[in-house]
Chain A
Amino acid sequence: MGASKKESVEVDKKEEEKKNRKKTQRTKKEKLSTEESLLHLKQEDTATDYKVFSEDDASEDYKSVEKSEAGDSESSGDEGFHNTGSNEGLANEGQSEDSEPDQGGEESDSSEDEVAPRNTVGDVPLEWYRDEKHIGYDIAGKKLKKKERQDKLDSFLANVDNSKNWRKIYDEYNDEDVELTKEETKLIRRMLKGKAPHGDFDLYAPYVDWFKWEDSKHPLSNAPEPKSRFIPSKWEAKKVLGLVRAIRKGLIKFDKPKEEPRFYMLWGDDASSSEKTGHLSYIPAPKPNLPGHEESYNPSLEYIPTQEEINSYQLMDEEDRPKFIPKRFMSLRSIPAYENVVKDSFERCLDLYLCPRVRKKRINIDPESLKPKLPGRKDLKPYPATCYLEYKGHKGAVMSISTETSGHWIASGSSDGTVRLWEVETCRCIKVWEFGEVVQYVAWNPLPELPILAVSVGQDVFLLNTGLGNEETQRKVKELLHVATSTVLDDSGNKVSAWSWLQDDKHEGIRLRHFKTVYSVEWHRKGDYFSTLSKKFTQRHPFKLHGLPVSAVFHPTRSIFFVSTKKNVRVYDLLKQKLIKKLENGLRDNVIVGSRDGKLCWFDMDLSSKPYKVLKCHPKDITNVAFHRSYPLFASCSDDCTAYVFHGMVYSDLNQNPLIVPLEILRGHASSNGRGVLDCKFHPRQPWLFTAGADSLIKLYCH
């Protein structure tokens, strides 16, 4: 819009110029501003086009318009455009007259333009055409021929002659000479002087504040808020995205570079600074003690030892002897030279460089917090703790004890060659069997209705009738013990067997003779079978063993049989008669194994063949271990005359580890021949523990 307006205005002015040129006699009051004149120069061709049209049909209208414009300019005088016109009206009169031929030339130019438009090469370097014969192309694409150059001398002479020569400028683009008008030169002069191009433009016109400040309570614009204020900026988002990418790529880093401390401890006398350096830190030598009163040259009398004391020092060990004996001198002058100076300082030097000084790092840990959290002993009651009853009667070390299923009786075998039967409650010895040889092992038949005792003595195993129970059970037992002999003899008679069954009349039982010493007898839980361990092999289980067997146990509920040899524990399945597992070193299914090195190992059969827990509490050999049948207790006894009672709780939740808590150390047995407690057995129903000692006593520890 604005552009077209301007066009129209320009058109007006061109027409005015035309009028000026055509009607020179008329006074020209209107002048063009410099820019417009320049524009005019460029766009003369278009202007002329307009003129061509306008002259034909609307010349009279233009005159009227021009008149009115002139009238306007005279009346208002507001616009500089018209002002200039009015101001320079007189000066222009003469000029216009002078420039008439030029205007004619111009006219010819314009007429030329009309015929052949001017150069159209555009804004290209003109030297491209320097050697050409044309300067460019007109609008129809025809070459514009260069003008014939005048002879330099002629042109110079012509110029000298022409007084207006200085106004002429060569236009290289169009290859023509242009003569500047007076206004143009004026304008150039003003610009050269640094003034405003128009003479009557006041740079410092007083400022008119068009805004009415009073009672304008409302914003300047009543326009609604633009949408852009409510939507997030796209460009900000892009910038943030860029930053985020840069951060991700690691191009932007946040941690600031460490500031080097400008100042540091020169002498580094605090401990932390020396540690920070990371070098071998200097540890100051311990300072020698300051001298006390006794090292004064004139100490008080109480510091001075008497002669007796000095003599007694000689008897003391050199280490304990006091280094310095105080002496008294009347004056400083009488003090002799210290005879040990060299020795002392030498020793000090030795101390300083031979005694390694170590910086001890003290760790601030509460030792209580390192202990595993175990339930208190009080919560785990009942467990055997106090010895109330003693079973006296044996003359030698009690090698083995065994409890009857109901807990009414116990049997014990001793190295004095006797087996004794005791009443638990009253410690009364009910019965004594004499064997005359060391009794290695006793075992009750686990069946309550068959009160049979298996005893291993030397190379024999005796099955004894305890004589308990009423007539009927007695009859049964007698029958069993008798019949058993004959049948088994029949069975094994044709084999070369390692044992033989004999009737033993003296003890009213069966005698099984082995070739080697029998160590241990163990009943199966049903009371039908029992195992014996002798020096070379075990019987009743045709298993091959490596190493000498030490002990054998039946599983309390399953058909599993444990044999411990000197190296490891083997687990056999009795039904399939094969080895199930080998427990190294040495119930779910837990097995405890006491070893000769005083270690007690807790095996979990389901987990692995390595012990779940190793309790090293006995300083001497563990002689026996025992589980309680109903209470979560197990015990170990050792040659150090103690028995340890542990709480061993196994949870049905497989994720929970068994809880093992040491409960009590049972002391009381005396050592005899280097042996302490030889056997321990739990009471089958009470949380009581029987211990058999080498001191020929059996003790009952109650809860």
Chain B
Amino acid sequence: MDMDAIPANVTRFGLSTIVNSLLKAGNDEWESQPFDFVIDGELVRLPLEQFVLAEGISAEKVLEIEYIRAVAPQKEDEPSLHDDWVSAVDGSCPRFIFTGCYDSFGRVWKAAGECTHILEGHRDAITSVTIVSPEGADSVTVATASKDQSLRLWKFDTEEHLDQPAKIRAYKVLRGHNASVQSVAAHASGNMICSGSWDCTINLWRTNLSDTEGDLVSIKKRKVKNNVEESQMEGEALSTLVGHTQCVSAVHWPEHSTIYSASWDHSVRRWDVETGKDLSNIFCGKALNCLHVGGEGSALIAAGGSDPILRIWDPRKPGTSAPIYQFSSHNSWISACKWHAKSLFHLLSASYDGKVMLWDLRTAWPLAIIDSHEDKVLGADWWKGDSVISGGVDSKLCISSGISVQ
């Protein structure tokens, strides 16, 4: 950009107006929008003068300022109301949103307010949901974990056009936990899922319909109202990872053979699926509620728990278990954190203070605060790469879209 000099006391807003006016000069149809500015891999959040001082950059140096679109939601969709608290959301499939609710039903939403499927079958509140095979052509497999100590696998066709939400029953019930199941995560291939529970264990399950492996226990014939007979399989855990001493509150299965888990026993563990041993153990000091692995090299572990600090560890760093980033703008427990699928820097966090915050690793302040919930937010996720979905105690599923994350 052919600019000679800008005043030192210019702020982010000033820089933004300069860039907007320049773009407008090049393109008449340009609509001005907020920008963020990156100097030396650091987002500008102060007047330039102070920023330079704070960063210790020589005043003689010519600063290269990179501008990117500000990451902030442009649009708030009308919240989709549930019958009870929304305990979990999953937006890993761009075609729909999958939510779990305390009324023991899972719901599939095509868009805001458009519920296409209702998953019935759990006898207690759903605590965690995951989409097992998002890429499936017509039918999609999803998994839910519930306080009734079981997990259920469901299959439905997303392309069905229905006036009324279709009611679906699970095709497989996974029993084996001795306490309420707190978290569930799916393997990328969609063949396996893992679940963490209050009985301190992590169980691995198969998702396949076929019972060649012999994990089929029984097929129950049930009579539903209209005398349609449905088959329901029961599955047993393939293997159990034992090591945590308290409730396993979050699991994540990003790679083929590695499972990450976070627990109330203050530790984050990395498990080798093949051997069933934990490879590494990061001690946090707080009871943890959520965990997600992503970011640079898909290796950074973000976790939040029973305090308002979102911590990010780099397990590749040898010899230290100190978090490399700590974001502490929340006021209460953190209930969810998710990395953006594409970006190396962006992640979101949801907290019991009713806020969802968007973070960039390059700055210590949140990029945006989505304050659409009136009570605790229990789950949040990215959707379609440019939206944030969140569900909470106010029984709402909120969708904030128009977030431009490069």
Q: Which A residues lie at the B interface, using CB under 8 A?
A: 381-382, 386, 388-389, 406-408, 425-428, 469-470, 685-686, 688, 702-703
| Count, chain B residues at interface, CB 8 A | 28
Asked if A470 and B333 make an inter-chain contact with CB atoms under 8 angstroms apart, the answer reads: no
Instruction: Tell me which of A381, A382, A406, A469 has the highest count of chain B C-beta atoms within 10 A of its own C-beta.
Output: A406
- Cβ contact of A686, chosen from B264, B352, B393, cutoff 8 A: B264
Asked if B376 and A703 make an inter-chain contact with CB atoms under 8 angstroms apart, the answer reads: no
B246 within 8 A of A: yes
Instruction: Tell me which of B87, B198, B264 has the highest count of chain A C-beta atoms within 10 A of its own C-beta.
Output: B264
B179 within 8 A of A: yes
Q: How far is the CB of B130 from chain A (nearest CB, A)?
A: 19
B285 within 8 A of A: yes
Known A-B contacts A388-B332, A408-B179, A470-B149; A428 and B289 likewise in contact (beta carbons under 8 Å): no
Q: How far is the CB of A404 from chain B (nearest CB, A)?
A: 10
Asked if B247 and A382 make an inter-chain contact with CB atoms under 8 angstroms apart, the answer reads: no
Q: How far is the CB of A633 from chain B (nearest CB, A)?
A: 15
Asked if B85 and A702 make an inter-chain contact with CB atoms under 8 angstroms apart, the answer reads: no
- A686 vs B285: C-alpha distance when bound (angstroms): 10
Asked if B85 and A426 make an inter-chain contact with CB atoms under 8 angstroms apart, the answer reads: yes
Asked if B306 and A428 make an inter-chain contact with CB atoms under 8 angstroms apart, the answer reads: no
Asked if B247 and A702 make an inter-chain contact with CB atoms under 8 angstroms apart, the answer reads: no
Query: Can you list 28 A-B pairs with a CB-CB distance of less than 8 A?
Result: A381-B285, A382-B285, A388-B352, A389-B332, A389-B352, A406-B179, A406-B247, A407-B246, A408-B247, A425-B249, A426-B85, A426-B87, A426-B376, A426-B378, A426-B393, A427-B376, A428-B85, A428-B102, A428-B125, A470-B149, A685-B246, A686-B287, A686-B306, A688-B306, A702-B286, A702-B306, A702-B333, A703-B285
Closest to B378 in A: A426
The number of A-B residue pairs with CB atoms under 8 Å apart is 55
Q: Which residues of A contact B148 (CB under 8 A)?
A: 470
B141 within 8 A of A: no
Asked if B149 and A425 make an inter-chain contact with CB atoms under 8 angstroms apart, the answer reads: no
Q: Which residues of B contact A703 (CB under 8 A)?
A: 285-286, 306-307
User: Would you list the 3 A-B pairs with minimal beta carbon distance, nearest first?
Assistant: A388-B332, A702-B306, A470-B149
B180 within 8 A of A: yes
- Cβ contact of B333, chosen from A388, A406, A407, cutoff 8 A: A388
Closest to B353 in A: A388
Q: Which residues of A contact B306 (CB under 8 A)?
A: 388, 686, 688, 702-703
Q: How far is the CB of A477 from chain B (nearest CB, A)?
A: 15
Closest to B180 in A: A408
CB contacts under 8 Å to A, within B283-339, are: 285-287, 289, 306-308, 332-333
- A469 vs B149: C-alpha distance when bound (angstroms): 8
- A22 vs B400: C-alpha distance when bound (angstroms): 174
Asked if B285 and A702 make an inter-chain contact with CB atoms under 8 angstroms apart, the answer reads: no
Q: How far is the CB of A469 from chain B (nearest CB, A)?
A: 8
- A583 vs B112: C-alpha distance when bound (angstroms): 66
Q: Which residues of B contact A386 (CB under 8 A)?
A: 307
- A409 vs B164: C-alpha distance when bound (angstroms): 37
Q: How far is the CB of A381 from chain B (nearest CB, A)?
A: 8
- A542 vs B87: C-alpha distance when bound (angstroms): 50
* B235-257 to A contact mask, C-beta < 8 Å, 1/0: 00000000000110100000000
Asked if A389 and B333 make an inter-chain contact with CB atoms under 8 angstroms apart, the answer reads: yes
Q: How far is the CB of B306 from chain A (nearest CB, A)?
A: 5
Q: Which residues of A contact B285 (CB under 8 A)?
A: 381-382, 703
Q: Which residues of A contact B149 (CB under 8 A)?
A: 469-470
Q: How far is the CB of A248 from chain B (nearest CB, A)?
A: 71
- Cβ contact of B307, chosen from A407, A426, A685, A702, cutoff 8 A: A702
- A406 vs B287: C-alpha distance when bound (angstroms): 14
Closest to B177 in A: A470
* B160-191 to A contact mask, C-beta < 8 Å, 1/0: 00000000000000000011100000000000
Q: Which residues of B contact A407 (CB under 8 A)?
A: 246-247, 264
Q: How far is the CB of A430 from chain B (nearest CB, A)?
A: 9
- A686 vs B306: C-alpha distance when bound (angstroms): 10
Q: Which residues of A contact B198 (CB under 8 A)?
A: 406, 408
Q: Which residues of B contact A702 (CB under 8 A)?
A: 286-287, 306-307, 333
- A469 vs B199: C-alpha distance when bound (angstroms): 12
Instruction: Tell me which of A381, A389, A408 has the highest count of chain B C-beta atoms within 10 A of its own C-beta.
Output: A408
Q: How far is the CB of A226 from chain B (nearest CB, A)?
A: 84
- A426 vs B249: C-alpha distance when bound (angstroms): 12
- A425 vs B307: C-alpha distance when bound (angstroms): 12
Q: How far is the CB of B104 from chain A (nearest CB, A)?
A: 12
Q: How far is the CB of A407 from chain B (nearest CB, A)?
A: 8
* B260-272 to A contact mask, C-beta < 8 Å, 1/0: 0000110000000
Closest to B182 in A: A425
Asked if B264 and A685 make an inter-chain contact with CB atoms under 8 angstroms apart, the answer reads: yes
Q: Which residues of A contact B102 (CB under 8 A)?
A: 428
- A85 vs B247: C-alpha distance when bound (angstroms): 145
- A408 vs B149: C-alpha distance when bound (angstroms): 13
Q: Which residues of B contact A428 (CB under 8 A)?
A: 85, 102, 125, 393
- A470 vs B286: C-alpha distance when bound (angstroms): 29
- A686 vs B264: C-alpha distance when bound (angstroms): 8
Q: How far is the CB of B24 from chain A (nearest CB, A)?
A: 47
- A627 vs B179: C-alpha distance when bound (angstroms): 26
- A425 vs B352: C-alpha distance when bound (angstroms): 10
Q: Which residues of A contact B332 (CB under 8 A)?
A: 388-389
Q: How far is the CB of A443 from chain B (nearest CB, A)?
A: 21
Closest to A700 in B: B306
Q: How far is the CB of B257 from chain A (nearest CB, A)?
A: 30
- A702 vs B309: C-alpha distance when bound (angstroms): 13
- A406 vs B307: C-alpha distance when bound (angstroms): 20
Instruction: Tell me which of B178, B289, B378 has the highest count of chain A C-beta atoms within 10 A of its own C-beta.
Output: B178
Instruction: Tell me which of A389, A470, A686 has the highest count of chain B C-beta atoms within 10 A of its own C-beta.
Output: A470
**5 extra interface residue pairs, beta carbon distance < 8 Å, beyond A388-B332, A470-B148, A702-B287:** A425-B249, A426-B87, A428-B102, A688-B306, A703-B306
Q: Which residues of A contact B247 (CB under 8 A)?
A: 406-408
Closest to A425 in B: B289
Q: How far is the CB of B229 from chain A (nearest CB, A)?
A: 23
Q: Which residues of A contact B378 (CB under 8 A)?
A: 426
- A382 vs B305: C-alpha distance when bound (angstroms): 15
Instruction: Tell me which of A386, A426, A470 has the highest count of chain B C-beta atoms within 10 A of its own C-beta.
Output: A426
Q: How far is the CB of B174 from chain A (nearest CB, A)?
A: 13
Q: Which residues of A contact B333 (CB under 8 A)?
A: 388-389, 702
Closest to A382 in B: B285
Q: How far is the CB of A69 from chain B (nearest CB, A)?
A: 125
Q: How far is the CB of B207 from chain A (nearest CB, A)?
A: 22
Q: How far is the CB of B71 from chain A (nearest CB, A)?
A: 27
Q: Which residues of B contact A427 (CB under 8 A)?
A: 376
Q: Which residues of A contact B178 (CB under 8 A)?
A: 470
Q: Which residues of A contact B125 (CB under 8 A)?
A: 428
